[in-house]
A = this chain, B = another copy of it.
Amino acid sequence: MMEETSTQNIDRRIQKAAEAFQFLKNTTVTERAEFMNAVADQIEVLGVELLEVTHQETSLPLARLIGEKARTVGQWRSYAKAVASGIYTEARIDLAQPEKQKGDLRKYNVGIGPVVVFGASNFPFAFSTAGGDTASAIGAGCPVIIKAHPAHPKTSQIMADAITAVVKAFGWPEGVFSHITGTSYEIGGYLTQHEDIRAVAFTGSFNGGKALFDIANSRENPIPVFAEMGSINPVFAFQNLLENKAEALAKEYSTSLTLGAGQFCTNPGVFIALKGKALDRFINALKEEIQNVAPATMLHKGILESFEKNRNIATEQTDIEIIASSNTDAENDQGSASVIKTNAKTFLNNPVLSEEVFGPFGIVVACETDEEIMKIAQQLKGQLTITIAATDEDVRNNPILINILKDKCGRLLFNGMPTGVEVVYAMQHGGPFPSTTDSRFTSVGPDAVKRFVRPVSFQNWPDEFLPDELKNGNPLQISRMVDGVMNSESLKLQTT
């Protein structure tokens, strides 16, 4: 059981966060990067005790947790490096010129203010208490109030203690990081409504994310909510590719669909292709693959119940055929893989089939014509990812369709399965609504920092009072745009 943080206690912590913001927004990118690297070090040395606790709380295999922990440490370090470079500071200096009315103008990005982060259950390290949202908010200069995920409270506490230890070691105000626990939905609303909160990051269900979005927008002063809310990540398989590689594709699809008991936001829940011999080959091969997938323990009872409920709802629709399911019976707490098949008309007319089923479950949509595939593309809601399984010739033959698919996702894959992400600059983990509330931002990769900054412009300020990022001497040696040109130089001006 998890202790509920009282409302009074929440108020006190938000007050501390607001105070800490006055400190944090004046730290330099260098200081914040040092802090982030120290957090990485602190997490890195957490040993087998953490892994065992998390394994018990989440049922995720140790090997996966070791990898996720390394990724989390890497996230803090790579975001720290990006922050230190000044890329998210976007320092812009337009020097005084005779023809300018306003004289000297200098702009940079500051933290937007205290951020509430809601951790996800499926990534207890990388998307939770010490995950990417926390790292990117602190990198931006924002205090973080984490609402611990109730499915892994001990893991959350260990991670919170690690960050708090670094706050103390650095002598930073305690409000830089706060850990709030509780299971009630009301806490989320309370945090989002609080006047001192300036942004919200969330990973979870559509209902949860949309509720926070609506609360945030009905505040007296609305604030941004970055909610990642799920996706069916369709695979569009084209004819040439399917004919060439039906069996290999089935294996790849099955592996991606059932990885980690299918508990990934980027799980490819729908497979779309023309009906015919090649698709029949794919389905036959898929059947064998899925039959051999052993049931796996899911993250927690709630997820298992939702999975079974939503899978059964989908399977009980009309014009549905079960084409593959695991040969092994699921034991207690385990989710069992299955794939159903339907036709395009049913898929297009029954919105239930476009809902995410979080777990190892897929739908194959067998289309009569290219027009039906086009209709599915046009009707498709926003997705985190879309895969084009195609030969070069297929791509050349379908420019209009592929152009439309670009509008429907954040990441477009050519012949690859989407499960998982890569923590690099070029990753986009965020797609059009309803996959996320704001397709303009990513929650993975250093660019995640962008979510939590806003620009402030200084007009004719004496050098002494400018933030280091904008001072003539460029003491942080960051890259800046000076009169339209990027450089890392110091300005040889007479300081006033």
Q: Which residues 431-466 of A have a CB within 8 angstroms of B?
A: 432-434, 437-440, 442, 447, 453-462, 464-465
* A409-B10 Cα distance, complex, nearest whole Å: 27
* Distance from A374 Cβ to chain B, minimum over Cβ atoms (Å): 13
Bound Cα distance from A403 to B21, whole angstroms: 10
Return the chain B residue nearest A470 by Cβ: B426
- CB–CB A407/B113 < 8 A: yes
- Give, as a whole number of angstroms, the nearest-CB distance from A397 to chain B: 12
> How many of A's residues come within 8 Å of B, CB to CB?
76
| Interface membership of A479, Cβ < 8 A | yes
The residue of chain B having its C-beta at the shortest distance from the C-beta of A466 within the complex is B414
- Contact at A93–B426, with CB atoms within 8 Å? yes
The answer to whether B426 and A453 touch across the interface, beta carbons within 8 angstroms, is: no
CB distance from A152 to the nearest CB of B (A): 24
Does A370 touch B at the CB level, under 8 Å?
no
Q: Of B103, B221, B395, which one neighbours A432 at CB under 8 angstroms?
A: B221
Closest to A382 in B: B221
Per the bound structure, the CA–CA distance linking A350 and B479 in Å amounts to 46
Query: Using Cβ atoms and an 8 Å threshold, which residues of chain B touch A442?
Result: 455
Q: A438 → chain B, closest Cβ, in Å? A: 8
From B213, B426, B456, B484, A222 is in contact (CB under 8 Å) with B213
How far is B132's CA from A430's CA once the two chains are assembled, in angstroms? 28
- Asked whether B457 lies within 8 Å of A410 as measured between CB atoms, the reply is yes
B440 touches A453 (CB 8 A): yes
Indicate if the CB atoms of A107 and B427 lie closer than 8 Å.
yes
Contact call A392/B422, Cβ cutoff below 8 A: no
In the complex, are the beta carbons of B424 and A105 less than 8 A apart? yes
Residue in B217, B221, B406 whose beta carbon sits within 8 Å of that of A456 in the complex: B406
State whether the Cβ of A92 lies closer than 8 Å to any Cβ in chain B: yes
Complex Cα distance A77/B4, Å?
Answer: 57
In angstroms, Cα B214 to Cα A413, docked, is: 35
Q: Which of B222, B406, B416, B421 contacts A460 (CB 8 A)?
A: B416
Residue in A102, A413, A481 whose Cβ sees the most chain B Cβ within 10 Å: A102
Instruction: Judge whether B94 and A422 touch: CB under 8 Å.
Output: yes
CA distance A455 to B460 in the complex (A): 34
Evaluate whether A440 and B454 lie within 8 angstroms (CB atoms) in the complex, with A25-B406, A416-B459, A486-B486 already known: yes
> Once the chains are docked, how many angstroms separate the CA of A407 from the CA of B110?
9
Asked if A415 lies at the interface with its beta carbon under 8 angstroms from chain B, I say yes
> How does the 8 Å CB contact mask read for A59-101 relative to B, with 1 for contact and 0 for none?
0000000000000000000000100000000001110000011
Query: Is A425 part of the contact surface with B, judged by Cβ < 8 Å?
Result: yes
Q: Please give me the residue from chain B that is nearest to A78 by CB atom.
A: B484
Known interface pairs A455-B428, A486-B486. Does A416 touch B102 (Cβ–Cβ under 8 Å)? yes
Q: Tell me, yes or no, whether A22 is within 8 Å of chain B by CB.
A: yes
Instruction: List B contacts of A214 (CB < 8 A).
Output: 217
A215 to chain B, nearest CB (A): 11
Give the shortest distance, in Å, between A214 (CB) and chain B (any CB): 8
Q: How far is the CB of A425 from chain B (nearest CB, A)?
A: 4
Chain B residues whose C-beta falls within 8 Å of the C-beta of A110 in the assembled complex: 406
Whether B428 and A456, one on each chain, are in contact in the complex, defined by CB atoms closer than 8 angstroms, is yes
Give, as a whole number of angstroms, the nearest-CB distance from A225 to chain B.
Answer: 10
Given contacts A105-B422, A110-B406, contact A221 B414 (CB under 8 A): no
Is A26's CB within 8 Å of the partner chain B? yes
Closest 4 CB pairs between A and B? Answer: A428-B457, A105-B426, A102-B422, A94-B424
Can you list 27 A-B contacts with CB-CB less than 8 angstroms, sorted by A residue number?
A22-B400, A22-B403, A92-B447, A93-B426, A100-B424, A101-B422, A102-B422, A105-B422, A112-B439, A112-B440, A217-B222, A221-B381, A221-B382, A221-B434, A392-B462, A392-B465, A411-B456, A412-B457, A412-B458, A414-B459, A414-B460, A414-B461, A414-B462, A416-B459, A416-B460, A440-B453, A440-B455
